[in-house]
A = this chain, B = another copy of it.
Amino acid sequence: MLGLMMDTPLLTTDILRYAATAHGQTQIVSRNLDGSIHRYCYSAALERCLRLSAALKSLGLSKGDRVGSLAWNTHHHFELFYGVSGQGLVLHTINPRLFEETLVKIIDHAEDQWICIDAATLTLAQSLAPHLTSVKGWLFMDPDDGLPETSLANVISYEGLLKSQRADHEWPTFDERSASVLCYTSGTTGDPKGVVYSHRSIVLASLFMSMADTVGVFRPGHREAAMPIAPLFHANGWMMPFTAPMNGQKLVLPGRNFEPERLCELIRQENVTVAAAVPTVWFGIVNYLASAGLELPSLRAAMVAGTKAPRPLIEDLERRGISVGQVWGMTEAPGGVRGTPAPGVAELPPDQQFLHKMRQGRMGFGTELRIVDDDGTALPHDGLSVGHLQARGPIVAAGYYRLESSTASGWLSTGDVARLHSDGTIEIVDRSKDVIKSGGEWISSQAIEAAAVEHPAVLHAAVIAIAHPRWQERPLLVAVLKPGAVVTEQEMLDHLSPLIPKWWMPDKLVFVDSLPMTASGKVRKTELRKTFAGDADSFVVQSDPELGNQRRA
């Protein structure tokens, strides 16, 4: 026996249609690539998105076809989320920071037919174009409707195309499981891994993220101004292009200007109340604020994800009256975790509250989390057991585009190692591939790294496993010192000693000039492991012979 409710599909376009109806005059503010400000409202945005859909239809694109975007956080990019997928097409949000050979690989894999670019990605597009096989043309998004001089073939002006269309276009209705956005994970090895969000999953994720529970600072939507500093090509800018209109929030888009000074200027001018970014960006912001002697009085909440936020960053933000909500998430499972404090935390003394702030959020309705051991057996949520984190639910990826399914167990393996607490909070311990397995126990490389960077001389630190005849693996600490800083191996060990368990102490320390990094700014540990393969005594330490195993930068 079925229910007798309307069979209305969950489509992302209904989010914008809602905002245009009930919050029609609420603003979308966006920084153009030239630094100037563009300003319009949801009802005007709806009209433009409908014109865009009509235009894409006129280009001969049909349901399921992929349209790529090589763009930053502008109102043009915002419009693609609705104008492309509203028409039943799939928006492939491409990360322009990837290496060119990776870009060619994923654009080919996605079979993008058109790619939307702007003045900032034009040069990149020109160097990719000769290697692409599926692309039929390029849409150039610029405030003007003119076209740049370019080697690209078949370039159309976005604004010109919109002007040629009528705004009374009607979006088709279709299965809510239809693909809406295609987003490749930033993994740099192996096959490209494309996550395909459905309309259903985006609407549900946006609903989950809109629950009062999520950030604890949400008020009636129109009192908020939300700014995704997270790029729109990273898991849909953490869903803000959807959650803002869904809640009638003002949306503030920083364009491609991610310099702390420009971000702070925009936050102050537009009275941004909630912003989302990775820890590195927040670090830049607090450092700028300190040097400029400024505050951000309107900003009430910092949503922090991507990697764990270090304690000094949280302390700094909270001292400025900006509440920090860490949320675990990944391209394959965005928006399932709440950033508000767990039950009882508000009643704890400040120091203990702080320990909770250091966790990566807490479970929310809609995304089930569990931890399992190496054999796949579920472990208790006791705050002690450590296991591989798995996720399940309607906003979790079941597989990757044109790849064999990887979730045969019904659960997504997140690649993270975590503790789960009985109050629902999540404590990420390490990446599964980075954890060091020593004598049957697990050592967290991230925990040692966090302890190492607390030393005033240390700029960056990476901990990897090195083979050990008795313990199987032991930790090696690879550190980059700050310019001019000096530290001995013994000083470093003395520093670590009170901060980590005795049996976690690195067997060896190495000081290097720099760490190998991925395009998205993470340490390339695979390369470190190659460099330092073998047991702890067999590799060459790049130390200054005059000072022993110690380095003067």
Contacts and interface: CB of A to CB of B under 8 A. Distances in A.
Interface stretch (A18-26, A124-132, A487-495): A18-26
Given A8-B393, A210-B212, A213-B210, A90 B1 contact: yes
Given A1-B90, A196-B4, A198-B2, A363 B219 contact: no
Interface stretch (A290-298, A398-406, A515-523, A544-552): A398-406
A406 B2 CA distance: 17
A177 B424 CA distance: 29
Interface in A194-213: 195-201, 204, 207-208, 210-213
A199 B2 CA distance: 9
Contacts of A15: 365
Given A21-B381, A208-B207, A212-B212, A197 B398 contact: no
Contacts of A344: 222
Nearest to A218: B212
- How large, as a class, is the contact surface on chain A? 35 or more
A314 interface: no
A333 to B, nearest CB: 9
A18 B222 CA distance: 30
Interface in A391-444: 392-401, 407, 410, 412, 422-424
A484 B25 CA distance: 53
Given A21-B424, A212-B220, A423-B22, A6 B393 contact: yes
Nearest to A346: B223
Contacts of A231: none
A456 interface: no
Given A18-B365, A216-B220, A221-B212, A397 B5 contact: yes
A235 interface: no
A29 B211 CA distance: 24
B1 A246 contact: no
B213 A248 contact: yes
B220 A213 contact: yes
A343 B395 contact: no
A365 B211 CA distance: 13
B343 A26 contact: yes
A28 to B, nearest CB: 15
A396 to B, nearest CB: 5
Given A423-B22, A424-B23, A7 B212 contact: no
Given A1-B63, A2-B175, A210-B212, 12 more contacts: A1-B90, A2-B179, A3-B197, A4-B400, A5-B200, A5-B397, A6-B407, A21-B424, A25-B343, A25-B422, A216-B220, A220-B341
